[in-house]
A and B are shown apart, each in its own frame.
With several copies, the nearest count.
Chain A
Amino acid sequence: MSYLVEMKGIEKRFPGVHALKSVQFSLKPGEVHALMGENGAGKSTLMKIMSGIYARDGGEMFVDGNPVTPDSPRAAQDLGIGIIHQELSLMNDLTAAQNVLIGREPRRSFGRLDEAALNKKTAEIFASLQLAMDPRTQVSTQTIARQQLIEIAKALSYNPRVLIMDEPTAALNDAEIAELFKVIERLKADGVGIVYISHRMDEIKRIADRVTILRDGAYIDTVDAADTPLSKIIQLMVGREVTQNAPVFPDTSQSPVALEVRNLSRGKDVRDVSFDVRKGEILGFAGLMGAGRTEVARIIFGADPRDAGEILVGGQPVNIRTPHAAVDAGIGYLSEDRKHFGLAVDMTVRANIAMANMDQFTNRAGVLDEAAMKRIAVKYIERLGIRTPSDMQDVRLLSGGNQQKVVIAKWLLRDCDVLIFDEPTRGIDVGAKSEIYALLEDLAAQGRAIIVISSELPEVMRLSHRIAVMCEGRLTGILPGGANTTQEDIMELATQRESALVGAEETR
């Protein structure tokens, strides 16, 4: 059997971390090979070795049977290996087209750029992805989901023979995922080998041919996707049985209202949104990308200004103009974009966990209590299973999912009355996910009011006591939680467009 890429006995050590222990991996042409494992299992590291970003400490790698050692992304590209990174790495100040074709700009004489050709070429790539985007839009104005799509377009523009996708769908909604899967099918048909990393278990069944499982940096097994039940794969990943305890939906309709929002408006993004959350309640927010859920949360949190509207906490109107005031009023917000808005990645895990809560760790003279910070950090590292050599590790050295857990720890520690979680489980593995669900339910049971914004419908349905649905900046309805509400009910509200009659459909 001829493998497109084969890796054997791969070793990688980072200071304090044995990230890969004699791992093997192989990829056939025209297959989708899923790489599974918990957060920090070593998936991204293995793929970074394959794509020439990290040098391996041991082991061998073959492309078409020939031993290779790609020592730079460029060298890997020349071997036909392309990668879509887990973390976005775009040039924010440039346009979409300028990003996609960076380094390969169509030129005229004397180094002059052919901007028209550049935009045309990019438009073609976007069209093949069914992506409705003006190649001239500036990247920084786009939501992460759309930025992710630009990354995908960029990787595809190299026409790779091997395409590594490291959690490409973490920021995408169902429609976009469907489009992406169509693209993957096309690539498969062309004989491209695809390595697919995701924590969304349902996707594995949909597109993977084979599945390789890593645990703690060690190779566990490679199984056939079609004949292996998901529960088996999860068990291999986690090393034990994961029990999904059935959710209970307590009746909170008589509890006091914790947060009330009245007629919140901001331009076209948020239009006259009113709702309330009661103590002990988990209110889910569903909607398509760009529905305005993040914007509602940011306005409540004082991160963005509002044009109109009132916010009441515990029945009292509060004047929230800054996040500082929001936190004082007992509102916490976990952002959907951890890298830009959630973490100081150059600082330690300990410092990040303590960040929203410094008062707790300082005496009156402002001197820090490092010992207390350490205690708390270690506690949350254990409780959330954050994989890190120590609480003094810089956050940027953690795997994506573990970074997300650090942000969660930060807000759990803050202990707010109203907690808004925006895509809390983005990039988090199945095992940890159910732990986080349990945590959220715990918090609710303690009388906190919780808002969960999520683009994963199963997640919203699994968690929410009530489900608010948004479309184009309006709150189109609030559905009861539990088994009586179906995905179709939600989708109907999520697509209840006001502008359906207005002609030319614009992307923004």
Chain B
Amino acid sequence: MTSTTTTVNTPRSTLARIIAAGTHQRVLAFASLIVLLIGFSIASPNFMQASNMIAILQATSVNGVLAVAVTLVIITGGIDLSVGTMMTFCAVITGVVLTYAGMPLLLGVVAAIATGALAGSLSGTFVAKMKIPPFIATLGMMLILKGLSLVISGTRPIYFNDTPGFSEISRGSLIGNLIPALPIPNGVLILFIVAALTAYILNRTVLGRYCFALGSNEESVRLSGVNTDRWKIAIYALAGAIVGIAGLLIASRLNSAQPALGLGYELEAIAAVVIGGTSLSGGRGSILGSLIGALIMAVLTNGLRVLSVAQEWQTVVTGAIIILAVYADMMRRKKSN
């Protein structure tokens, strides 16, 4: 779709300039998040409790990390359908390393991230070298990894009971140890660290620059003498490594690697990214947006559940609000031009 919208962003103030540089677009989805939070607080007194806020953040952690990973790929103009099952695959490998092989915790962490990076670079190779459309390459990977998770685990969950510190990765609270009033679970902390690091990479390093450039006009980047294939593989590998972190988070939270889990998480992550304002046609996007998108999804599901809305209506309302949130975003963006 070659839409030649004459959107014009010329940030005037220095602050606006920095924000624009940092996010490459205004993150307007934020307003929708606030509206949701206020709405649910009014509707239910139980919603705005500290413990529920923490529960929402906790619920965002896995999907948030996946959304961060997939943002990178989407900015290059690609898509990654394999993030859900890749997360599971990384968790299973960690299970093998820690529980079956009895290795120390750190090695399990490394294994998860390395597995993700490896799987990601495989997807990247399919896309870059073999010129397979990202949709198909990652759909294939989604199935392959799903199957392999079941094969490797023998279709049984792998428990981490023998690795004492493991469940602390997501459930413990470093912040809470320092400031008892703020028992933010480590999983949430990790989400924010991952998001901050990735945002830095995206906006301040060559890799990030090429993410945007590839999504903007791949051929012109190639003709600038850039080894586009190598960079693309690197980007998919980085996304994979981040998915590996998501694998650690979910395994730690469930204290087990559940080999059958994972399908469906990819759509949710992609939805968070798009709600956050990243364009599926590539070239534009921000990590902050994806984070907010993931929060919107988590607030929405949690809020509706706290309100005890009947499940079937929850689905209807979620669908409607996702559309409305993006619509409101569009309107505000239009106005601000």
Contact = CB atoms under 8 A, between A and B. Distances in A.
Asked if A and B are interacting partners, one says: yes
Interface of A: 14-16, 53-54, 73-74, 77, 89-94, 98, 102-103, 105, 107, 110-113, 115, 137-138, 140-141, 154, 301, 303, 322-324, 326-328, 332-333, 335, 340-347, 351, 355-356, 358, 362, 365-368, 370, 389-390, 392-394, 396-397, 410, 414, 508
Given A91-B283, A111-B207, A368-B206, A342 B216 contact: no
Contact of B207 (A16, A343, A366): A366
Nearest to A87: B4
A335 B224 CA distance: 10
A98 B221 CA distance: 11
B70 to A, nearest CB: 18
A91 B223 contact: no
Nearest to A73: B223
Contacts, number: 174
Given A324-B225, A347-B283, A508-B10, 6 more contacts: A94-B209, A94-B213, A98-B209, A103-B226, A141-B10, A356-B225
Given A74-B225, A98-B209, A340 B204 contact: no
Given A102-B213, A340-B219, A345-B217, A323 B224 contact: yes
Contacts of B222: 303, 322-324
A177 B9 CA distance: 28
Contact of B220 (A137, A327, A340, A366): A340
Given A140-B7, A346-B283, A355 B216 contact: no
B204 to A, nearest CB: 6
Contact of B10 (A53, A301, A342, A389): A389
B311 interface: no
A328 B226 CA distance: 10
A324 B283 contact: no
Given A74-B225, A351-B213, A389-B10, A90 B220 contact: yes
Contact of B206 (A77, A111, A140, A333): A111
Contacts of A137: 10
A103 B284 CA distance: 19
Interface in B93-141: none
B2 interface: yes
A77 B8 contact: no
Nearest to A303: B223
Contacts of B209: 94, 98, 105, 113, 351, 358, 368
B213 A347 contact: yes
Contacts of B219: 89, 340-341
Interface in B1-20: 2, 4, 6-10, 17
Contacts of B205: 110-113, 362, 365-368
Contact of B224 (A53, A356, A393, A508): A356
B216 A368 contact: no
Given A103-B221, A322-B227, A367 B204 contact: yes
Nearest to B227: A324
Contacts of A103: 221, 224-226
Given A322-B227, A362-B206, A102 B7 contact: no
B10 A16 contact: yes
A356 B226 contact: yes
Contact of A14 (B8, B207, B226): B8
Nearest to B210: A358
B226 A113 contact: no
Nearest to B285: A93
A368 B213 contact: no
Contacts of B216: 91-94, 344-347
A366 B223 CA distance: 21
B283 A344 contact: yes
